[in-house]
Structure 1
Amino acid sequence: MFNNLPPLTRNIIIINIIVYIITNFFLYALQKPELYYVLSAYYPFSPFFKSWQIITSMFMHAPIAGGPGLMHIFFNMFILYNFSFLENILGGKRFLILYFLSGIGAYILFNVWEFIQVEMFARQLERLGFNIYDYFSGTNKQLKGSAQEIKNQQTLINNIIKIISSPLLGASGAVFGVVSTFATIFPNARMGILFIPFQIKAKHFLIFSVVISIYFGYSGSDSGTAHFAHVGGAVVGFILAKIWKKHLNRFNPQ
């Protein structure tokens, strides 16, 4: 099966699988599970953030024992496998650029939204007479006010702590970039989607995916998924496709 894949796609899938096996089995066997999170990406102003995480997080997926587990890596690699032909269309160099830039774009847009959230919570704390930056610097950790005000302050502080301590991981942003590029170059190509009994045009699938990701990301109704990372990857894929499309002498299927 892997032998029929273009080389870069094959290697990306293999690396993802190897990293998943190492981080979920070998590191736990060595009693070093904290290394799992060293490779995931944190909010850039978090004390847990390291620059290399922006790249390594693209090869990380949800722990086998938590959250979506194996389904996270399975669906990402399944989609990448099904769109592997795009490597032959773009060429290896462009495909590699697409994968990594989409992953970086996913990280950036996701954390732009996280920054907006942090600043919103910080402003609410200021209105309650509390400075979150003094809190994290150790200057002032004393909550003051009525019992309800203290409860509200603690809730807002916990919201900020959750943002800066929750890692971003997965190839979803990079994979969304691949799908977005395909849908932009071949907008009228018909796609068969799992659990949908009819085919849908690629451009309609892309629009629907971005709209639903923005909705869930903004509403927070599915907080376990980094929806704005998906949008970030899709935006980068769309931009790169627009740049490259005029240079590709390919038939656009109807």
Structure 2
Amino acid sequence: MFLPLHDGVPLEHMKTPVVARSLIVVCVLSYLFYAYGPYGEDVMVGGLGLIPSVLLGAEILPEGYPFVPVWLTPITNIFLHGSWFHLIGNMLFLWVFGDNVEDAMGHLRFLVFFLLCGVVASLTHTLVAFYAAGASLPDLFIFPAPHRPLIGASGAVSGVVAAYLILYPRVRIWALFLGGIPLRLPAYWAIGFWFVLQFVSAFFGGDDGVGWFAHLGGFIAGAILIPIMRHRYDPVLARAAAQEMQAPR
């Protein structure tokens, strides 16, 4: 387990990361409506969640579902979360890492980046689920079922994490590890630990209710997109931020 708490890297090109903060607000409001609104959780998941078998046309939902064209569900599922813990975890990652990634891209590019990472994550989950359903695989591996809905911003947030790692690999991050141990480690150690956890959980029997392959797909998308989409990154500032964070306090 890894939960980031603080990085301390100042914004250089904007006062407020408007998009990152707005995404947090939208996700929180969506969860409140999902959990406490009039429709109920099952209805919301069926209406806005991503179901791989439905997206690829192998199954059809009852009339009235989903609430949007099925090709939009790789986006709409991003804004639903299954529990307060699921929501808070994703929003904490977005709060700590999203501001600096948005600072490096600008507002509009960051929004496009976030949504692209989320879509790639959703499609990765979908393709893996369908491949696993038709393949004879050892019991050692646990893959997602194509009929189970996928919800959550984890894949999109994973792309943000990958971008931050590339931008600020040596910045020291305060985070909670392994059930609540506070440590201050360089980003490449902290995020590297997180990535290994995702990889091992995806292939070797993590909780089958978690979209591990969505996390991996979003992370890879973020790593590919950040060199293309960043336009406000100064390596001198990155080194200065790392040195500041490494200085004794």
- After TM superposition, the score normalised by the length of structure 2 is 0.74
1:246: Cα distance to partner?
A: 7.4
Report the equivalent of 2:78: 58
1:90 to 81, 89, 105: 105
CA deviations over 1:14-72 (Å, ceiling 9, x no partner):
111111111222234xx68423321011103342472111110010110xxxxxx2100
Q: Which is higher, the Rg of structure 1 or of structure 2? A: 1
Report the equivalent of 2:85: 71
Alignment pair present for 1:40 and 2:49 = yes
Q: Secondary structure at the match of 1:164?
A: coil
In 2, the alpha carbon distance for the partners of 1:92 and 1:32 equals 32
Report the equivalent of 1:10: 21
Contact 1:6 1:85 survives alignment (8 Å): yes
Which blocks of at least 5 consecutive residues in structure 2 are unaligned? 1-14, 243-249
Deviating above 3 A after TM superposition, structure 1's stretches of 4 or more consecutive aligned residues are 244-247
Q: Secondary structure at the match of 2:185?
A: strand
Output the amino acid matched with 1:204: W
Task: State the percentage of identical aligned residues.
Answer: 27
Contact 1:183 1:202 survives alignment (8 Å): yes
Per mean C-alpha deviation after superposition, the further-off stretch among 5-14 and 99-108 is 5-14
Report the equivalent of 1:172: 154
Shift of the 17–246 alpha-carbon distance from structure 1 to 2, 3 Å rule, reads closer
Output the amino acid matched with 1:73: L
Matches within 5 A, 1:1-254: 5-28=16-39, 33-43=42-52, 44-45=55-56, 46-47=58-59, 48=61, 50-62=70-82, 69-86=83-100, 87-121=102-136, 163-194=145-176, 195-244=180-229, 248-250=233-235, 251-252=237-238, 253-254=241-242
CA deviations over 1:217-244 (Å, ceiling 9, x no partner):
1122321211111111111111122334
Corresponding residue pairs, total: 207
Contact 1:185 1:245 survives alignment (8 Å): no
1:94: Cα distance to partner?
A: 1.9
Q: Secondary structure at the match of 1:243?
A: helix
More helix by percentage = 1
1:209: Cα distance to partner?
A: 2.1
In 1, the alpha carbon distance for the partners of 2:44 and 2:115 equals 22
1:245: Cα distance to partner?
A: 5.3
1:249: Cα distance to partner?
A: 2.6
Per mean C-alpha deviation after superposition, the further-off stretch among 174-183 and 243-252 is 243-252
RCO (CA 8 Å, sep 6+): is it higher in 1 or 2?
Answer: 2
Per mean C-alpha deviation after superposition, the further-off stretch among 17-26 and 191-200 is 191-200
1:173: Cα distance to partner?
A: 0.8
1:5: Cα distance to partner?
A: 4.6
1:207: Cα distance to partner?
A: 2.6
Contact 2:103 2:232 survives alignment (8 Å): no
Output the amino acid matched with 2:116: L
More strand by percentage = 2
